[in-house]
Chains A and B, each alone.
Chain A
Amino acid sequence: MDAVEADPAAKQGDGRLAIEVADLGKRFGEREALRAVSFRAARGELLAVIGPNGAGKTTLLSIIAGSLQPYAGSVQLREGRVGFVPQQAALYRKLTVAENLELFARLEKVADVEGVVEEMLTQTVLGERRDDQVGTLSGGNQQRVNIAIGLLSKPAVLLLDEPSTGLDPRQRARLWEFVLALAEVGTTVIFTTHNIAEAERYGGRLLVLADGEALFDGSAAELHAAVPGSERSDFESAFVSFLRERGH
């Protein structure tokens, strides 16, 4: 299956501010994991956070999700809640798809548990597998359940930490189809990825992190433009040149 093509305008969101992150700082011992990172994202926008290993991508998402506390800075959500989907499927493999959804819906204190479980099963197209134990599902389907759990509370902002890692091209295409559909209905999606092509294709905007520092915030085209002479090379090469020029 080919990659899903998204309407570029749809990836920019509707312009209404959904989340504002200001001057986030985080240390692990002596190591500075994040240094004054700031950005904004609009409702329905797809923001790709990219950077080399150890750049601080997962730390940034964990702070926004509330799992980690920063020593400086703030996260302001204009409305709703944040949904977090960790990199590896955070699911109980011995429970069925429906049981996992039900458990987390109850922990999220969702008012209509059964209704939202049915909705997620429909949205993930996993209705027929509802009574299968999660451990028996393919990696792609497990990731769908993983994302569905992040969506149970109907979050205004959905955080995806390397959502396509370990998925085959077909599963990746299905995943992005699902994510784009979420953005179309107004969910702001902030995702991290090592797949630069995926970031270029699906990210309405890119936030480049390196050594805990935000080096770039803009579109893929703007990043190309920021690297003189990269017009004829692919985006990945431009990205590598961009990092090299800035000493990373």
Chain B
Amino acid sequence: MKWLLLKDLKLLRRSPLLTALLVSYPIVIAVLIGFALSGGPDKPRVAFLNEVAEGTPLDLGGENFDIVGARDELCDRIECVRVSSEEQARELVTSGEVLGALILPANLIDKLRSLGGLTPEQPTVKVLVNEEDPVKGQLVDDRIDSLLSDANLRVSQSVSEISATYLDILLNGGDFSLLGQGFEVLGLRAAEQILTEIRDDVPAKDQAELDRVIRFSSLAADNLDVADDLLGTITQPINVDKEVVSGDSPSLDSFAIAVAATITLMFVTVLLVAGSLAAEREENAFNRLVRGLVSRTALLAEKIGLGVVAALVVTLLMLAGLQIFVSLEWSRFLLWIPAIVAGGGAFGAFGAAIGAATREVRAASLLAFMVSLPIAFLSLVPSGTVSPGLFDAIGVLTAVFPFDAALRALEGALDEAGPSIAVAVGHLALLTLGYAALARIALRRFG
């Protein structure tokens, strides 16, 4: 088997075009997928729970807010899935049927109103998210930020205007109403003026104390005069209480690296193994080999081994290259190896099944592309972006293809916050056995 492996490596060295294609194509595809991922869907499904009583009016700073209109506007920008309780919202988020949930609490209007009073309380909306993958987590964050920024802007403008009115009364004096009773406020400037006028009538021993009060009034009036501008900077009156319902995702950088590495791993291994096995038949060497020189099983093992070696070399080279642009946790290097080996093994076995089934290099390459690429894309679809039934179907399909498991293995290897590497490697081992068995069956009619 060692000599067959050395032979295959020698053949690769003598096929520079093939080798160049093997390396460059996955990189191009990885870049394309990166662009596609950064786009995201147009209208994500978000569970929406409105606990505010229907028809509750909101008047803030003289402006009447249209709550119903705001809700309709919100549901134009996302696909609102109306729910009747927080538990139901939580279930939908956990199951992945929606990207996240937005909950408007019953006291939202009261707290918004309080922003216009003397005892303001910050209103809070609750957001439930499922961060099972970082793309999805980022998508939810972006959408929620976008939805709340408009509301915050409008509320903050009203709050600023009300606060500015209070400051004006404090500075210049005026009428003020509290708990149904009207008050006349003197104002700091008037107080300073009165105190200055009576200063000379005050006994000399008390003038020093009075001067301190006059200085304070002057200083306060001068400084509160610029508070209008400061109030204008309060742009986040509504607080977001974000709760991660499930999932603990790695950083988006780690995820992007894992995606790029998995795509590289997939194409290099699947194409190489499928083509190499089919080439044995095209070169008419297969019958000679299995005539007592090598068993079909040993030949299969050699091809999968070739895939693992190529996967290790190319993926590690790619990760080393990525180190120039992003920081990698090299302390986790020992976890990279089993992840790449397991991924390479599963992709290799998958490639062997394709090579054994097609029996021609061109057909094997074509089939490898046709099958691998769409399934890889499907594996990247976050829950909540498609209908639940379709997502379940995608889940079944991607579970029997090595891409999803290899991606999870690499995520786990690259980032501590990633999924369990042991589970992913176990999944890959099962897929390796399954595809190797299929390839072995196909090899019975290979000669």
Partner-B contacts on A (CB < 8 A): 62, 65-67, 84, 86, 88-95, 99, 103-104, 106-108, 133, 149
Contact = CB atoms under 8 A, between A and B. Distances in A.
Given A92-B11, A94-B15, A95-B10, A104 B293 contact: yes
Nearest to B10: A95
Contact of A103 (B3, B287, B291): B3
Nearest to B11: A94
B3 A92 contact: no
A66 B14 CA distance: 33
Contact of B14 (A65, A67, A94, A106): A94
Contacts, number: 52
A107 to B, nearest CB: 4
A92 B15 CA distance: 13
Contacts of A90: 283-288
Contacts of B289: 107
B284 A93 contact: no
Contacts of A93: 283
B4 interface: yes
A88 B3 CA distance: 23
B3 A66 contact: no
Contacts of A86: 284, 287-288
A93 B4 CA distance: 14
17 contacts: A66-B291, A86-B287, A90-B284, A90-B287, A91-B285, A93-B283, A94-B11, A94-B14, A94-B15, A95-B7, A99-B10, A103-B4, A103-B7, A104-B293, A106-B3, A107-B3, A108-B293
- Name the residue in A86, A91, A149 with the highest tally of chain B Cβ atoms < 10 Å from its Cβ: A86
A225 B34 CA distance: 80
Contacts of A133: 14
Given A94-B14, A95-B7, A66 B288 contact: no
Interface residues of B, number: 20
A92 B284 contact: no
A84 B288 CA distance: 7
B293 A107 contact: yes
A149 B289 CA distance: 11
Contact of B11 (A62, A91, A95, A149): A95
Given A66-B292, A90-B287, A92-B285, A107 B11 contact: no
Interface in B395-447: 447
A103 B280 CA distance: 14
Contacts of B10: 94-95, 99
A67 B14 CA distance: 30
Contacts of B318: none
Given A67-B447, A107-B3, A88 B291 contact: no
B287 A67 contact: yes
Contacts of A92: 7, 11, 283, 285
B305 to A, nearest CB: 16
A75 to B, nearest CB: 13
A133 B283 CA distance: 14
Interface of B: 3-4, 7, 10-11, 14-15, 283-294, 447
A133 B14 CA distance: 10
A91 B282 CA distance: 10
Nearest to B447: A67
Sorted from nearest, which 5 A-B pairs have the closest CB atoms? Answer: A90-B288, A90-B284, A107-B293, A106-B3, A88-B284
A67 B289 CA distance: 9
A186 to B, nearest CB: 22
Contacts of A62: 287
Given A94-B15, A107-B3, A107-B4, A84 B283 contact: no
A178 B2 CA distance: 32
Contacts of A149: 288
B358 to A, nearest CB: 19
- Name the residue in B3, B286, B291 with the highest tally of chain A Cβ atoms < 10 Å from its Cβ: B291
Contacts of B294: 107
A176 to B, nearest CB: 22
B37 to A, nearest CB: 39
Given A66-B291, A67-B287, A99-B7, 11 more contacts: A67-B290, A88-B284, A91-B284, A91-B285, A93-B283, A95-B7, A99-B10, A104-B293, A106-B3, A108-B293, A149-B288
A103 B283 CA distance: 15
A99 B3 CA distance: 11
Contacts of A108: 293
A104 to B, nearest CB: 7
Contact of B291 (A67, A94, A95, A106): A67
B2 to A, nearest CB: 9
A86 B283 CA distance: 11
A90 B294 CA distance: 15
A133 B291 CA distance: 24
A200 B181 CA distance: 130
B293 to A, nearest CB: 4
Contacts of B4: 103, 107
A89 B287 CA distance: 11
A10 B291 CA distance: 29
Contacts of B11: 92, 94-95
A95 B289 CA distance: 16
- Name the residue in A92, A99, A133, A149 with the highest tally of chain B Cβ atoms < 10 Å from its Cβ: A92
A92 B10 CA distance: 11
A88 B287 CA distance: 11
Nearest to B293: A107
A65 B293 CA distance: 11
